[in-house]
Amino acid sequence: MDLITFSFLRFFCNMNHFQNSHFISAICFIDRIKIFMPGYRARYRIGQAAHIIARLFILIIILTAIPVCVCAEIQDRFFEDDSAEPWHIVADEMNYDHKTDQYVAKGNAVITKKGRKLTADFVRFNYNTMEVLAVGHVIMTAGEDVLIGERMEMDLEAEIGTIYNGTVFLKENHFYIKGNKIKKLGENSYFVDKASLTSCDGERPAWKVTGRNLKVTLEGYGFVNHAALWAGNVPVLYTPFLVFPAKRKRQSGLLPPQIGYSKRKWEEYNQPFYWAINESSDVTFYLYHMGRRGDKVAFEYRYVLDNNSKGTMMYDFLKDKKVDDGTQDFEETGTLQSIKEWGYRGDDFLRPNSDRYWFRWKHDQAMPFGFSAKLDIDIISDQDYLHEFKHGYTGFGETSDYYSDNFGRDIDEYDDSTRVNSLNINKSWSQYSLNAELRWYDNVINRRQGGVDTTLHKLPLVEFNASKQQIYKTPFYTDFDSEYLYSYNKDGNRFHCLDLYPRFYLPYNFRSYFSFEPSFGFRETVWYVDDFSDGTIETNKILNRQIYDIKLDLSTEIYKIYNINGKNINRIKHSIEPQIIYEYIREQDHEEYPDSIGKNNVVTYSITNTFTSRSKENPEQKNGVVDEENDEPVSYNYNQFCRFLIEQGYDIGEARDDNPEPFSPIYAELELSPAKYLSLQADAEWCQYEDSLLSRNVAVALSDYRGDRLFVEHRYALDSRESIYYNINLKMLDSLEVFGEYERNIYDGRDIRSVIGFLYESQCWSIRCFYEDEEESDRRYGFIVSLYGLGEIGTELSGRHVEGPH
């Protein structure tokens, strides 16, 4: 349509007295339409007069023809269910029937409103009932979900209808649900008589689940009867009933269970139930059935109070049918059960209790005036509990990873029988920090077994520190550390301690030749002793100690820059930094005070070599400060690819005492990353008096752009340990990875840990198989198939532990 005809029609559209009629309504759509006149083609060149006549002829046809053959956007009364957001219809050809109040759209028909869209070759829409019939290449989108079929009958307002020979695509789970007759039961529900379910793209999915009477509800679950799992065209698994998640948001319900069998526990079934309490809190309950040990109950409560305040509380309880009380156990099988079945190797203590529990809690709290608080609670019933429950939903591994990821704080290792419980309140300023803490060390063995408890608790510990800063406009600098501590021991030492430690610096730089920084520290410590178990220190008396220390730090830097002008690197800087440090602390009488600080009169000298490369961020830029061609500054990347340190100390005090070995071992450290995918770290100590290495540790990491990775570490300490560790990941194909780990104690001739396996990942599924053998633990065999969007199927089998689908 040209400009003259278009302007003429717009003139009629602006005439107010015509706007309420069907006649003018059709014309008013001209500003958003295209005219489709199949019989009208410009086959010959004609003059300007002929063009005008043709335009007038088209105008007469439009003004006299009802219904109108246009592609229109209906605004006045089409789907007036929401005045703020009208329905829209577009097609190559559209007709309107007054008697039935139906619109018929043919050719590339599109109906849209908000997040809903329907396209088809043919559409018949009933305005009164909001019902639509779509035929041919039907595609309907609702939010992010897509329905595709040959034919669709749908109530657009209620979103209820039927799709024939169709497919439903649920984007969040990447689900494809196919069926010859798909019924949409509402906004978020579907029913399929004969269904096929998969998350694989393409006409021939790698896996699919077929079944009858499938019903799926978004934000809920899908249910299907007589379900069969197919691998390609081969059926591999049948179940009379299958449930799968179709969730995009938090919603209460059952979670996948863990299933297994083990010698220590017999049959195992751990069923979690998730309860979404509200937007800011939820809880998961666990019922863990063990045929031989009883039923363990647990919960995990998570909550968020505001952007900076949150917490997670976990609790497990088991009334254990078995105890480790030093006696032999006559089992149900009629055999005499060995004690070691209920204890653990390396554990010299019994476990006579049957009431077993583990309570842990971490909480972060924002407080007024910029203060923050952190609470850490970790209480277990006995020293064997975390050995027994290392794996699983509520096991040590899952708990440790969760707290580390969400709170940035770990919990003590599973084999540590002294658990730390603390409440910390702190505040930081630009140059100062305040930290107050209550710290209780729970000695599990002592609590269970009794006896003298020598564990010292900090109730409280208060620290106030100031970072290094200039004293007004003088050349002097200072920092300050202070601490108040009350040490409490149930059966022994109890004392107050106040420690004040200011330090003063006078840094001096002699041009660019060297820098020299002398510093002086004065430390005042005051105690008030309530009780001291060994009687060596007088009680109910104030003790005080003054100590001063001196430190002299002399260093310089010598460097040279090499112009390489390579393809990636244009310069390399080699820097040599010699340093000499002298430290002095006078000798104290250790017996007079609750703690001691050793004397120190040592000179430490070292040399550090560093190599730093410079490369342009944009290799196309020329060297210099400004790229003259592009008139923009040249930017560079700097990479320290090599650092080598060597140092030794000389103890002046030992030399004055005629000690024949005043020199400390020579220590060396190397960090090297010469290429993007190669790095090496190594350190060693060599004793010149024994002419031997006291320790050496070497670690090498090698990788490539495909994702292959090799890590090797060797650790050695004279007369105590030597071990080697390997970790390898090989990308055999884009989708196939082989992995392995091996750690061996060479000193004792024992294998510590071995793992080997492979991982195959496809677009919609993966399979992971592995074997793991850990010293003084279980042998585990894993075979896990992950069907993306559906879950994991498989087991982890071990001598003591079995895990099922996660």
Tens digits of per-residue pLDDT, 283-313?
A: 999 999 999 999 999 999 999 999 999 999 9
Residue pointed to by tokens 């998350």: 199
Burial string for 50-80 (b: 16+ CB within 10 Å, else e) reads eeeeebeebbeebeeeeebbbbbbbeeebbe
Assess contact for 478 and 465: CB atoms under 8 A. no
DSSP H/E element including 52? helix 48-64
Instruction: Enumerate residues 6+ apart whose C-beta is below 8 A from 645.
Output: 606, 607, 608, 609, 667, 668, 669, 670
Is there a cis peptide before residue 518, judged by omega within 30 degrees of 0? no
What's the distance, CA 175 to chain centroid? 24
Instruction: Give SS3 for 63.
Output: helix
What pLDDT is stored for residue 479 in this prediction?
97
Residue 525 sits at the vertex; the CA angle it makes with 522 and 529, to the nearest 5 degrees, is 170
Residue pair 358/344 in contact by the 8 Å Cβ criterion = no
CB neighbour list of residue 606: distance below 8 Å, 6 or more residues apart: 578, 579, 645, 646, 647, 648
Q: How confident is the model at residue 590 (pLDDT cuts 50, 70, 90)?
A: low
Check: CB of residue 724 under 8 Å from CB of residue 714. yes
- Is residue 356 within 8 A of residue 381, CB to CB? The reply is yes
- Is the pLDDT score of 321 beyond 70? yes
Contact 619, 567 (CB under 8 A): yes
Q: What phi and psi, each to the nearest 5 degrees, are found at residue 600?
A: -150, 130
* Mean pLDDT for all residues in the chain: 81
> Which stretches of 377-495 are DSSP H helices?
385-388, 396-407, 444-449
Asked if pLDDT for residue 443 goes beyond 80, the answer is yes
Angle at 215 (CA atoms; ends 210, 219), nearest 5 degrees: 115
What was the pLDDT predicted at 84? 54
* C-alpha to C-alpha distance for 356 and 369, rounded to whole angstroms: 42
Record the tokens describing residue 465, joined without a space. Answer: 């520190």
Residue identified by tokens 């290392």 is 390
Cα 606 vs. chain centroid, distance in angstroms? 41
Q: Which residues, listed in sequence order, are joined to residue 676 by a DSSP beta bridge?
A: none
pLDDT (0 to 100) of residue 86: 67
C-beta separation of 806 from 258 below 8 A: yes
Residues whose CB falls within 8 Å of the CB of residue 368, separated by 6 or more in sequence, listed in order: none
Residue 388: name the closest of 440, 316, 326, 332 by CA: 316
Q: Please, what is the Cα angle at 730 between 724 and 734, to 5 degrees? A: 165
Structure confidence by residue, pLDDT tens digits, 68-116? 333 333 322 223 345 456 678 888 988 888 877 888 889 999 988 877 7
In 3D, which of 34, 41, 46, 104 has the Cα closest to residue 71?
A: 34
pLDDT in the model for residue 793: 52
Q: Structure tokens of 352?
A: 């006579």
Q: What is the pLDDT of residue 251?
A: 65
Residue 6 confidence (pLDDT) above 90:
no
Range with the largest mean pLDDT of 16-20, 52-56, 465-469, 535-539: 465-469
From CA 447, how far away is CA 535, in angstroms rounded? 25
Which CA distances in Å does 757 have to 460, 737, 771? 49, 9, 6
Least confident of 628-632, 750-754, 795-799, 801-805: 801-805
In whole angstroms, give the CA distance from residue 461 to residue 436. 6
Report percent pLDDT > 90 for the chain. Answer: 45
548: enclosing H helix or E strand: strand 542-555
Q: Could you write out the three-class secondary structure of 644-706? A: EEEEEEEEHHHHHCCCCCCECCEEEEEEEEEECCEEEEEEEEEECCCCEEEEEEEEEEEECCC
- Give one word for 136, left, alpha or beta, with left for phi > 0 and alpha for psi -120 to 50: left
Q: How confident is the model at residue 17 (pLDDT cuts 50, 70, 90)?
A: very low
Nearest partner of 468 among 522, 505, 508, judged by Cα: 505
The answer to whether the peptide bond before residue 475 is cis (omega within 30 degrees of 0) is: no
Determine whether 169 is exposed, middle or buried from the number of CB atoms within 10 Å of its CB (0-12, 13-18, 19+).
Answer: middle
Residue 40 pLDDT class (50, 70, 90 cuts)? very low
Q: Which residues contact 551 (CB under 8 A, 6 or more apart)?
A: 518, 519, 520, 521, 581, 582, 583, 584
State mean pLDDT over 642-669: 94
Counting Cα atoms < 13 Å in the Cβ hemisphere of 140 gives 29
Q: Is residue 661 left, alpha or beta, with left meaning phi > 0 and alpha meaning psi from -120 to 50?
A: beta
Query: What are 330-353's pLDDT values in tens digits?
Result: 454 444 444 456 777 666 788 889
CB atoms within 10 A of CB 705: 8
Half-sphere exposure of 693 (CA within 13 A, CB side): 11
Q: Is the pLDDT of residue 531 over 90?
A: no
- Closest by CA to 70, choosing from 20, 14, 126, 29, is 29
Q: Write down the pLDDT at residue 600.
A: 93
- Could you tell me if 37 and 58 are in contact, meaning their C-beta atoms sit under 8 angstroms apart? yes
Q: Which residues of 115-150 are buried (b: 16+ CB within 10 A; e: fewer)?
A: eeebbbbbbbbebeeebbbbbeebbbbbeebbbbbe
3-state SS, residue 248: coil
State residue 340's pLDDT score.
52
Per 3-state DSSP, what percentage of the chain is helix, strand, and coil (rounded to 5)? 10, 60, 35
Q: Which two tokens stand for residue 212?
A: 């009858």
What would the pLDDT profile of 728-740 be if each residue is shown by its tens digit? 999 999 889 999 9
Tell whether the model's pLDDT for residue 441 goes beyond 60. yes
- Owner of token pair 């305005």: 127
Dig out the tokens for 785 from the structure. Answer: 């198939």
List the beta strands (DSSP E) in 75-115: 88-90, 93-97, 102-113
Q: Which of 226-240, 504-518, 532-546, 601-615 has the lowest mean pLDDT?
A: 532-546
Separation CA 612–CA 471 (nearest Å): 35
The band of 636, judged by pLDDT with boundaries at 50, 70 and 90, is confident
* Short-list 125, 62, 66, 115, CA closest to 90: 125
Tokens of 91: 């097609």
Contacts 24+ apart (CB under 8 A), 76-83: 76/25, 77/127, 78/103, 78/127, 79/113, 79/127, 79/130, 79/156, 81/130, 81/157, 82/113
| CB distance 87 to 78 below 8 Å | yes
Cα–Cα distance, 622 to 113 (Å, whole number): 54
Q: Which among 317, 331, 312, 356 is positioned nearest to 448, based on CA atoms? A: 356
Q: List C-alpha distances in Å: 54 to 30, 93, 162.
A: 18, 21, 46
Decide if pLDDT at 425 tops 80: yes
The single-letter code of the amino acid at 99 is K
Band (pLDDT 50/70/90 cuts) for residue 694 is very high
